[in-house]
Amino acid sequence: MSLRDDPDVLEAFDADVPGEPQVDVSRLRERLREVAPAIVLFFAALALWELTVIAFGIQEFLLPRPTVIVGTLVDNWTEISKAAFATFEEAVGGFVVGAAAGALVALATARWTGFRTGVLPIAIALNSAPIIALAPIMNQWFGLTNPVSKMAVVAIIVFFPVMINTARGLTEVDPAELELLDSYAASPSEIMRNVRIPSSLPFVFAALKVGTVLSVIGAIVAEYFGGPRDVLGVYITQQASLLHIAEAWAAIVVATVLGVAMYTIVLVAERLIMPWHASFRDQRV
């Protein structure tokens, strides 16, 4: 019997039909159609902002126009980009340390049940604590101008969601998959590698995505409590106090771009590491 005669196989071939020859063009067009509303809305909102400021004669130190903010950004690019780079380093450094520590502790909780039952409730409680309030203490510990004081805040903020989610992902495993591995007399470390870790990845990436946003917020707010001159948080507070509102806005725009950039990096990593995941299936691997 040839494969083509097999009803199952035909079904699978049929499922592939939507993506036939002109795949790439049509897929690109589809992507464009998906993002088009967001782009249109974004520029419409900017135009509305611009026009409102002009129409009501709102003064620049209250709310500068988008075009003014962009102009200010270009004029102060050297200073702002330097600050942005320093803040990005803090956010990324803290993110990497916090995420790695969270994942490692979660691995330990999956391995030792006693550890899990002891640690998880505490972690969940601490996760809802306002960790940013630790910023002044970290400044004391590591020094106001030392980037490590900001990284520490970011690391702690990122640690808890990553740890809690990873621990859940490692333990909420399909019992049938565990039974299969047991039937092969697989060792705990083989079960960890072949079942627990791969099943936890969707949970881990969900936490990492939240973590990217939190780490930029964490770094900048920590800088509001004081830091070296050339970081975004300090730049924003100083410019605002001098009533250089357009400069402050320009820095806020750059901070937003940092958050989006980190989020995008994690998103790309997610697609590379788990191309099999259900959330990417409509796009076909």
Partner 1 sequence: MSEHAVVAEGVGKVFNAGSSDQVEALKGIDLTIGAGEFVSLIGPSGCGKSTLLRLVGDLVQPSAGRLEVNGKTPHRARLDRDYAMVFQKATLLEWRTVGKNVQLPLEIMGVDKAERERRSREFLDLVQLAEFSDHYPWQLSGGMQQRVAIARGLVFDPALLLMDEPFGALDEMTRERMQMELMDIWRRTGKTVVFVTHSIPEAVFLSTRVVVMSPRPGRITDVIDIDLTQPRTFDTRESTPYYEKMTEVREALRAAGVGVE
Measured from the CB of residue 199, what is the shortest distance to partner 1 in angstroms?
A: 8
Nearest to 224 by CA among 98, 95, 138: 138
The DSSP output letter for 131 is G
3-class DSSP state of 3:
helix
DSSP string of 136-195, one letter each residue: HHHHHHH-TT-HHHHHHHHHHHHHHHHHHHHHHHHHS--HHHHHHHHHTT--HHHHIIII
Tokens describing residue 221: 């707010």
Measured from the CB of residue 166, what is the shortest distance to partner 1 in angstroms?
A: 16
Looking at the chain, list the stretches that DSSP marks H as alpha helix, in order from N- to C-terminal side: 7-16, 23-55, 66-75, 77-111, 113-127, 135-142, 147-171, 175-183, 188-191, 197-224, 232-241, 245-273
Measured from the CB of residue 114, what is the shortest distance to partner 1 in angstroms?
A: 23
3-class DSSP state of 57:
coil
Measured from the CB of residue 280, what is the shortest distance to partner 1 in angstroms?
A: 11
C-alpha of 51 from chain center: 33
Q: How far apart are CA 265 and CA 259, in angstroms?
A: 10
Nearest to 86 by CA among 258, 264, 208: 258
Measured from the CB of residue 168, what is the shortest distance to partner 1 in angstroms?
A: 18
Chain contacts with partner 1 (rule: CB under 8 A): 1, 3, 6-9, 11-12, 15, 174, 176-177, 179-186, 190, 194-195, 198, 201, 274, 276-278, 281, 285
Q: In terms of CB distance, is 12 or 257 closer to partner 1? A: 12
Q: In terms of CB distance, is 62 or 176 closer to partner 1? A: 176
Q: In terms of CB distance, is 128 or 183 closer to partner 1? A: 183
Tokens describing residue 265: 């990096």
Measured from the CB of residue 274, what is the shortest distance to partner 1 in angstroms?
A: 6
Q: In terms of CB distance, is 20 or 179 closer to partner 1? A: 179
Q: In terms of CB distance, is 12 or 125 closer to partner 1? A: 12
Measured from the CB of residue 270, what is the shortest distance to partner 1 in angstroms?
A: 13
Q: How far apart are CA 173 and CA 175, in angstroms?
A: 6
Q: In terms of CB distance, is 46 or 206 closer to partner 1? A: 206
Q: In terms of CB distance, is 168 or 277 closer to partner 1? A: 277
Q: In terms of CB distance, is 75 or 174 closer to partner 1? A: 174
Measured from the CB of residue 12, what is the shortest distance to partner 1 in angstroms?
A: 6
Burial class from Cβ neighbours inside 10 Å (0-12, 13-18, 19+) for residue 34 reads: exposed
